[in-house]
């Protein structure tokens, strides 16, 4: 409740919470002041009778029930004083869900620290070859990374496949760890204005398809080649094999992150694309990131081999 954009909502919630408790107490006080009136017969019925002898009674609430109601409202007031519940007021204890979660995570990390410390001192390639480490890394991956990359790490449209050794920013342990730790942003700017007319864009798209041997119009590809070499080669290279230093994808391997075919490539040229891999340094400890790096690296490399470039 501390992220309200307007003070009105904080006050509104406070009034509703305190007003509700006050109204209950007022109602209880009013009913306790009303004396029950007896009928002519001297009983406490309301005078309503059904089925000849079924009478509606008007007896007061049991005293223990009233005290229980009073104690409940007092508990509510104490709760609102020590815990957040009155708009942006954080409560005397300063408790929050985020703080509780972080406390639990810190406790768990402290208990697991000896296990992670063992692997933190090992090389990524050696950690990837350890069965226990791989199991821990897999759980870390499934709990966080699988949401985008899939439980099998093969990704989907817009989310890279981590098992095929085709890396946008490089597949060495150092680069994988840096991307997990700091995240990364990949940007393909809209290039339609630079390429020229709609026909020019279509020609370049067909040339891009020709680089990977995909189905294309050979005549258009021939016309699109000069435009590609003049404009697109700055990032993707004259040979179209990309540049991992800036995250420019290889266009010759027939692996398409955002869809293949003429239409998909034309869309990318016209609209561009921005992808973001969020940083994980605030969520995982360095030792956990080291182990997660080993797991991800091992998905596309056999333990004991040289790191993929």
Q: What's the pLDDT tens digit per position in 106-118? A: 888 788 788 888 8
- Rg of the chain over CA atoms, in angstroms? 34
pLDDT in tens, 258-274: 999 999 999 999 999 99
The whole-number pLDDT of residue 35 equals 61
pTM: 0.68
Fold matches, 103-183+278-300 and 187-277: yes
Measure the CA–CA gap between 208 and 263, rounded to whole angstroms. 12
Answer whether residue 307 shows pLDDT above 70: no
Phi, then psi, of 156 in degrees rounded to 5: -160, -175
Percentage above 70 pLDDT, the chain:
91
Residue 8 backbone class (left: φ over 0; alpha: ψ -120 to 50; beta: rest): alpha
Torsion angle of C-alpha atoms 234, 235, 237, 242, degrees rounded to 10: 180
Domain ranges of the chain: 7-82, 103-183+278-300, 187-277
Q: Give the domain 103-183+278-300 fold.
A: Cytochrome Bc1 Complex; Chain D, domain 2 (1.10.760)
Measure the CA–CA gap between 208 and 228, rounded to whole angstroms. 8
- Once rounded to an integer, what is the mean pLDDT over residues 152-170? 92
pLDDT in tens, 52-74: 778 777 777 778 888 898 899 99
Measure the CA–CA gap between 49 and 53, rounded to whole angstroms. 6
The whole-number pLDDT of residue 63 equals 82
- Once rounded to an integer, what is the mean pLDDT over residues 21-50? 72
Lowest model confidence (mean pLDDT) among 114-123, 206-215, 297-306: 297-306
Q: Give the domain 187-277 fold.
A: Cytochrome Bc1 Complex; Chain D, domain 2 (1.10.760)
Name every residue whose Cβ is closer than 8 Å to that of residue 115 and which is 6 or more positions away in sequence.
136
pLDDT in tens, 175-187: 999 999 999 998 9
């Amino acid at each position: 409740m501390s992220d309200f954009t307007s003070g009105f909502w904080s006050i509104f919630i406070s009034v509703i919470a305190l007003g509700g408790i006050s109204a209950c107490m007022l109602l209880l006080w009013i009913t306790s002041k009303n004396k029950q009136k007896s009928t002519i017969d001297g009983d406490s019925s309301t005078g309503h009778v059904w089925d000849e002898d079924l009478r509606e009674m008007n007896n007061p609430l049991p005293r223990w029930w009233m005290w229980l109601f009073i104690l409940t409202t007092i508990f509510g007031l104490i709760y609102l004083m020590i815990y957040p519940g009155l708009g942006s007021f954080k409560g005397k204890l300063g408790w929050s869900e985020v703080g509780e979660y972080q406390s639990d995570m810190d406790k768990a990390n402290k208990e697991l620290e000896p296990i992670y410390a063992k692997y933190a001192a090992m090389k990524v390639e050696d950690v990837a070859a350890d069965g226990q480490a791989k199991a821990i890394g897999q759980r870390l991956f499934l709990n966080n990374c699988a949401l985008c990359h899939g439980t099998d790490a093969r990704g989907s449209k817009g989310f890279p496949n981590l098992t095929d050794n085709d890396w946008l920013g490089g597949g060495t342990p150092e680069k994988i760890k840096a991307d997990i730790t700091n995240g990364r942003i990949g940007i393909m700017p809209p290039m339609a204005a630079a390429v020229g007319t709609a026909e020019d864009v279509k020609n370049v798209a067909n040339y891009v398809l020709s680089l990977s041997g995909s189905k294309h119009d050979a005549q258009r590809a021939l016309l699109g080649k000069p435009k590609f070499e003049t404009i697109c080669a700055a990032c993707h290279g004259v040979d179209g094999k990309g540049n991992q230093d800036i995250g420019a994808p290889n266009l010759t391997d027939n692996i398409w992150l955002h869809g293949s075919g003429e239409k998909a490539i034309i869309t990318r040229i016209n609209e561009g694309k921005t992808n973001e891999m969020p940083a994980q340094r605030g969520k995982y400890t360095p030792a956990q990131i080291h182990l997660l790096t080993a797991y991800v690296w091992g998905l596309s490399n056999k333990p004991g081999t040289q790191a993929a470039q």
